[in-house]
Structure 1
Amino acid sequence: MEGIKSIIDHFQNRDYFDEHYEWVNEHIEKHFPDTEVKVFHEIMTFDFKVHIHLIKAKSSKFDILITSGMSSLEMKIPQEAENPKDLRFAEMMMLIPKGIEFENVYTGDKKNDYIISMLKRTAKFPHQEDSWIGIGHSIVSDADFEPYGNDTEFVGGVILPSVTFDENFTKIKKDGRIINIYSFFPLYKNEVEYKINNGYNALLDRIIEADSKEILNPKRKNLIKKESFISKFLK
């Protein structure tokens, strides 16, 4: 009970922007009219609700997952960041191949639920930690680098700008506010470590070299080539 109380206390007396839920809905309807959209609602939570929209656009070769709720709270952007006012609100997005199916209700432990878990945990992280995330930031599932589910080896991810959609879609602008929609690129454990040790640009170079797409590949090859014992010895 003490843990629940601390969560409730952490999120009390915060300024909530509940209208952002509706802004995200309107944005999706504007860009994907007459498109099937399924929403995985978060019903019970002790912090704040993050819903997941599954957009099944017939005209594209992929489906889209977008969070709704991350932007209901303002992230704590450091003043030294460039244009901090424009970075306060964000939602997460992931493009997934056609054919990936989910159960009607998200529980976190069913087939493919790990994909939704990646977005939900990322969306909650900056508010739980009184921090922020933006382009180039990396994130892990937990302190132990555990995979997001039993059916994946992904343990974290990096926040990227979308290369599929332009700013007309990735920025919701209304009433003097901006809600940024960032793309989540999942990573294996050694890829997260590589990014931490070498920086965002080095990891981005690896992504480009591998010609990795923005669309999720659940079985993609590791970006970091494993060195042989001999090559390590010769260094």
Structure 2
Amino acid sequence: MNDFYEKFRNRTSFDEHAEAISAHLDERYTSEELTVFHEIFSPDIHLDVYFVQSEKHNFNILLTAGMSTLAMTVPAAVENPQDYQFTELMLLLPKSVTFGKVTGDNPNDWLIAMLKEVARFPHHYDTWLAIGHTLQATADMEPYAENTDYTGVVVLPSVTFDEEFTSVQAGENLINIYSIFPLYADEMNYKIENGYNALLDKLIEKNAQEIFDDNRPNLLV
């Protein structure tokens, strides 16, 4: 356990990035439209999640604030790796999906937990997340919760928001905001076997929407 804490204690922390995300939202929404699910205990990075409820949209937004506190380990072979080091994740939700004041006692809380698990993954395993990457809920591809059949996610560019929203400049650093799209087990396997472009073709063919749907038809049916 001590090694675990040391792993994060000795890394350069960009605390101003979370402040940049906060300012980014404050420029676009009123305080009444923003709820923050504050993390009480953070063993690694402090990771809050914003819940944006605005009449500007026909959906609500979950957005992480803290994933970009640490730089991800981007392979040197990637062109302009500095452009992919810092990321936050968002999930668009139908207006019908609500949460309590405190996370942990609501049937929809798994969505927040899922976002936070994905956000922590690259820092725990010294890797990175970018468009086209997928991540399983568990090694055995079990669902995220008892009340859902989703077993993983794919990282996608937002088709709802343009670069003005999904690119946040924090000093000299660029923070990318990517969209998370939950997948069923066979969809995950399809992507693993056939690649991101093949999955993307299925998304386009089925006219899959960026807004989360817990009863979404399977892309492979």
- Normalised by the length of structure 1, the TM-score is 0.91
In 2: Cα distance, 1:76 partner to 1:164 partner: 28
Separation in 2, partners of 1:31, 1:164: 15
1:150 aligned to which of 146, 152, 165: 146
Which of residues 44, 57, 61 is equivalent to 1:60? 57
| Aligned-partner Cα distance in 1 for 2:27–2:152 | 31
DSSP 3-state at the match of 1:11: helix
TM-score, length of structure 2 as denominator length: 0.96
Partner residue in 2 for 1:71: 68
C-alpha RMSD over aligned residues: 1.2
Percent of residue pairs identical: 45
Q: Please, which of 98, 110, 114 is the counterpart of residue 110 of structure 2?
A: 114
2:160 paired with 1:164: yes
SS of 2:10's partner is coil
More deviation, 180-189/4-13? 4-13
Q: How far did residue 7 of structure 1 move?
A: 2.2
Is the aligned partner of 1:104 residue 2:101? yes
Aligned length: 221
**1:31 match: secondary structure:** coil
Cα deviations by residue, 1:45-102 (Å, 9 ceiling, x for unpaired): 2111211100001121000110000000000001111211110000001100002111
CA contact (8 A) 1:170 1:182 kept: yes
Task: Indicate the structure (1 or 2) with the bigger Cα radius of gyration.
Answer: 1
Which of 118, 134, 143 is the matching residue for 1:138?
Answer: 134
Which residue number in structure 2 is paired with residue 20 of structure 1? 17
Does the Cα contact within 8 Å between 2:17 and 2:170 map onto a contact in 1?
A: no
- Note the residue ranges of structure 2 that are not aligned, 5 or more in a row: none
SS at 1:116 equivalent? helix
Structure 1 portions without partners, runs of 5+: 226-235
